[in-house]
Amino acid sequence: MATTTDMEELSVYFGDGNHKGRRAYVMWCPDKKGYFVEMLHAAGHYELRNMGSHSESYADDCAENFVMAWGEFTDEYILSRQRP
- The 3-state secondary structure of 62-83 reads HHHHHHHCCCCCCHHHHHHCCC
| Structural domains in the chain (count) | 1
Q: Is the pTM of this model over 0.85?
A: yes
Could you read off the pLDDT of 10-54 as tens digits, one per residue? 999 999 999 999 999 999 999 999 999 999 999 888 999 999 999
The better pLDDT of the pair 79, 12 is held by: 12
Could you read off the pLDDT of 44-61 as tens digits, one per residue? 889 999 999 999 999 999
Range of the domain at 48: 4-80
In the predicted model, what is the mean pLDDT of residues 67-74?
A: 95
Q: Which of 64-68, 73-77, 79-83 has the lowest mean pLDDT?
A: 79-83
Residues 54/30/60/76 CA torsion (nearest 10 deg): 90
